[in-house]
Amino acid sequence: MTPLRQRMVEDMRIRNLAANTQRAYLQQVSAFAKYFGRSPAALGPDEIRAWQLHLIEV
């Protein structure tokens, strides 16, 4: 598990998110990274906006 993913999992646990919610969030971050072919750590606000536009156009 990458340090970024571990941090996200820990933060979701701290916020007491349900297991299904955690799984869904991790799946979406994975899809986001796969769409751009880069680590989420290398993506920023411009990619987030492009991803959101992609989601509403699909």
Taking the domains of the chain in order of start, what are their residue ranges?
3-57
CB 8 within 8 A of CB 29: yes
Number of residues assigned to the chain: 58
Question: What is the pLDDT confidence band of residue 48, given thresholds at 50, 70 and 90?
Answer: very high
Encoding tokens for residue 46? Answer: 């411009």
pTM of the model: 0.86
Binning pLDDT at 50, 70 and 90, where does residue 58 land?
A: confident
Residue 37: DSSP 8-state: T
Confidence band of 25 (pLDDT split at 50, 70, 90)? very high
Q: Over pLDDT 90: what percentage of the chain?
A: 97
Cα torsion 14, 31, 49, 57: sign: negative
